[in-house]
C-alpha cells in the first residue's frame, strides 16, 4: 500500500498568541530535590515533565489508601455498595495501629464516613473496615486492589493490605502512583473531591488532613500523604493552574516539611516552563483525499479524538507536521476507517503520531463509475 506525504510547518506562535516575543528561549534544569524518586505528570496528556527514579520500587505507606479509595469508588459506581451502607466495625479493624479514625468495635459506621476517614484522616482502622465490607476480608480486598492495579496498567505494584502497613511484598513506583492518581481524578471526581477537605470530625474527634499544601497552595486540591520509617515522607499532590492539572509524586523525603517543599518546587518549575494545549479537536479535518470508484470522489480525513500536548512553552512554535495518506483509496470506505496519519515533530524528533480516519462512509459507486475509475487508475499506474 502506497502513501503520500505532505509536510507543513505549523506556526503555532500565530495560532496561540500567548507565546510572547520576549519569552525565555532555554528551559533550565529542574530544581535539585532530595528524594528517593519523584515525578511531575500532566493529568490530561500523560506527559512526564520532570522525573527521577520513577521505576524504582518504593514502599507506598499510606499512599496505598489512594487505591483503597479507588476500589471503593468503583464498587459504589457499580452498585455493589452504597455510601449509606452501615458497616459493623470488626475487632481487627479497631485494633489497627498508626493513624486512626477512632472507630469503635461493634459500632456501625457508614461507608461515606469510612471513606472520609480513609481519605481525610488517613485512618488505618477505617481502611480495614471498608476493605472487609467490600470483600469480606482484608486479604481478599488486597487481591481486588491488585486486579485494579493491573487493569490500570500499574506494572510494578503489589498490595498486601488496604492501609499501607509495612510489608516487604507491598510496593509500588512513582510512575504507578501517578497512573493511579490520574485514574482517580478522571474516573471518580466526586470521590476525588474528598481529598480537598481539610478537616473531618468523627466520634467528637476533629482531625486535619495531613496534606499541608491544602492550606499553603490554593491551586492544590489533593491528594495523599504517606509516611513510615522505612518509606520516609511521601506526598502525591495535584494542582490546577490556568486550567492545567499537574500531578506530583514525591517519595522518600526526610521530613514532614520536606515533602510539601519539594512538591511546590517541582510544581512551580513545571508551570513556569511547560504548557499543555489542545492542538486538535475530535473530528477536526486535517486534509482531504480523492476517493476512487465511490458514490463521491472527495473525503475529509479527521483526527479521532481530542489531542492534548504538553511541551516546553518555547517549543510550540517549532512544531512541524507531516501528513501521510493512503494513495488512491478505493470505495467502499467505512466511517472511521484509517487512511493516514499525522506526525508531529520538534527538531526532527517525532513527538506524536495521530491516526487520520474517514469522516464519513463512502459506498461503492455504480458500474459506470467503477469502470471509469478503473480505467483512469490503470493509466496512472502505467504512466
Task: Tell me the catalytic residues.
Answer: 62, 65, 122
The distance from CA 94 to its chain's CA centroid, rounded to whole angstroms, is: 34
Can you tell me whether residue 91 is helix, strand or coil? helix
Among residues 185, 254, 186, which one has the least CA distance to residue 220? 185
Please count the other Cβ atoms lying within 10 Å of the Cβ belonging to residue 66. 26
Longest dimension (CA), the chain: 88
* Rg over CA atoms, the chain: 26
Residue 6 main-chain phi, psi, to 5 deg: -125, 125
Can you tell me whether residue 310 is helix, strand or coil? strand
Stretch (H or E) spanning 126: helix 124-135
CA distance 81 to 90: 18
Task: Count CA atoms within 13 Å of residue 95 on its CB side.
Answer: 3
Amino acid at each position: 500500500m502506497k502513501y503520500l506525504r505532505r509536510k507543513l510547518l505549523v506556526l503555532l506562535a500565530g495560532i496561540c498568541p500567548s507565546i510572547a516575543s520576549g519569552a525565555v528561549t532555554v528551559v533550565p534544569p529542574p530544581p535539585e530535590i532530595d528524594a528517593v524518586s519523584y515525578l511531575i505528570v500532566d493529568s490530561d496528556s500523560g506527559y512526564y515533565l520532570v522525573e527521577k527514579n520513577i521505576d524504582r520500587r518504593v514502599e507506598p505507606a499510606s499512599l496505598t489508601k489512594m487505591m483503597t479509595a479507588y476500589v471503593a469508588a468503583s464498587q459504589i459506581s457499580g452498585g455493589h455498595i452504597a455510601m449509606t451502607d452501615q458497616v459493623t466495625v470488626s475487632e481487627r479493624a479497631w485494633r489497627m495501629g498508626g493513624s486512626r479514625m477512632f472507630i469503635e468495635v461493634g459500632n456501625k459506621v457508614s461507608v461515606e464516613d469510612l471513606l472520609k476517614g480513609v481519605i481525610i484522616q488517613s485512618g488505618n482502622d477505617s481502611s480495614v473496615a471498608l476493605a472487609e465490607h467490600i470483600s469480606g476480608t482484608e486479604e481478599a480486598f488486597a487481591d481486588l486492589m491488585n486486579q485494579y492495579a493491573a487493569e490500570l496498567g500499574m506494572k510494578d505494584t503489589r498490595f498486601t493490605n488496604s492501609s499501607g502497613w509495612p510489608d516487604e511484598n507491598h510496593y509500588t513506583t512513582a510512575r504507578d502512583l501517578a497512573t493511579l492518581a490520574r485514574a482517580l481524578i478522571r474516573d471518580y471526581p466526586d470521590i476525588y473531591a474528598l481529598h480537598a477537605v481539610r478537616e473531618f470530625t468523627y466520634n467528637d474527634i476533629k482531625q486535619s488532613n495531613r496534606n499541608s499544601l491544602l492550606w499553603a497552595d490554593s491551586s492544590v486540591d489533593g491528594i495523599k500523604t504517606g509516611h513510615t520509617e522505612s518509606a520516609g515522607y511521601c506526598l502525591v499532590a495535584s494542582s490546577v493552574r490556568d486550567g492545567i492539572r499537574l500531578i506530583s509524586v514525591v517519595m522518600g523525603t526526610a521530613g514532614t516539611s520536606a515533602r510539601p517543599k519539594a512538591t511546590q518546587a517541582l510544581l512551580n518549575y513545571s508551570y513556569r516552563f511547560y504548557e499543555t494545549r489542545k492542538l486538535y479537536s475530535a473530528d477536526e479535518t486535517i486534509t482531504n483525499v480523492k476517493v476512487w470508484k465511490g458514490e463521491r470522489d472527495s473525503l475529509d480525513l479527521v483526527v479521532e479524538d481530542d489531542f492534548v500536548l504538553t511541551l516546553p512553552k518555547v517549543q510550540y512554535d517549532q512544531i512541524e507536521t507531516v501528513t501521510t495518506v493512503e494513495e488512491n483509496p478505493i470505495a467502499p470506505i467505512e466511517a472511521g476507517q484509517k487512511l493516514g496519519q499525522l506526525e508531529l515533530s520538534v527538531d526532527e524528533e517525532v513527538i506524536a503520531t495521530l491516526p487520520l480516519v474517514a469522516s464519513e462512509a463512502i459506498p461503492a459507486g455504480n458500474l459506470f463509475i467503477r469502470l471509469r475509475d478503473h480505467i483512469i487508475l490503470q493509466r496512472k499506474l502505467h504512466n
